[in-house]
Amino acid sequence: MPSTTPLPPTVGFDLDMTLIDSRPGIRACYLALAQRTGTYIDAELAVSRLGPPLVDELINWFPAHRVAEAADLYRAMYPAYAITPTPALPGAREAIAAVRDGGGRAIVVTAKHEPNAKLHLAHLGIEPDAVIGGLWAEQKALALREHRAAVYVGDHVGDVRGARTAGALSVGVASGPCDATELHGAGADVVLTALTEFPRWFSDYRTEYVPTGNA
């Protein structure tokens, strides 16, 4: 008889303010970009609203015709300014380990420039099964569907929209710019106060897990 044991799920994670506290590094890179270009950037304000694509922030500081050039410069400067100051958030390594220990796959799906996302993870010794960058909000569903992710974990309402578009369970974590009320309001299925709560939640989820079309 065929086995009825559910397959271990693939779990997707956002990067900025979900697995890593990228505010110190991004702040440093914005300040360096401002100095290099002679353009005022309120770095504190910028890092208070992380999540959307880089160009969505730069349009607040640069004329529209200079945004693409500024984005290219920022991405080129990023490894020198942003990688070393950026720590893992509490529970990040344990969350990835919980998925692996359960026999599942852990992937990272982020709006960040993919090469820079990989640099962060390598620097911190976090090794997901795949890293997909350059996707925001509903676009994240492309990677989540491709990898058949059953769960997507993120700190932003855009991450909730991506999970729901993909048909994945949305797990919000209130470690970024969106609080628990906003995450619930956007339709998150589960909201955690911090990623440190993920291993226990995931253990409970695995005992009740029933594969869906994405799993």
User: What does DSSP assign to residue 142?
Assistant: H
Q: Which two tokens stand for residue 98?
A: 């919980």
Amino acid at 109: V
Any alpha helices (H) in the chain, and if so which ranges? 23-37, 43-47, 54-58, 64-82, 92-101, 114-124, 140-146, 157-166, 180-186, 198-208
SS3 at position 20: strand
Q: How far is CA 120 from the centre of its chain?
A: 12
pLDDT score at 169: 98
Residues of the chain with pLDDT under 50: 1-5, 212-215
Using CA atoms, how far residue 183 sits from 1, 86, 103, 143, in Å, is 42, 24, 28, 21
What pLDDT score was predicted for residue 3? 43
pLDDT at 7: 65
In this prediction, residue 105 carries a pLDDT of 97
Residues 124/88, Cβ–Cβ less than 8 Å: yes
Provide the pLDDT for residue 47.
97
Compute the distance between CA of residue 213 and CA of residue 215 in angstroms, rounded to an integer. 6
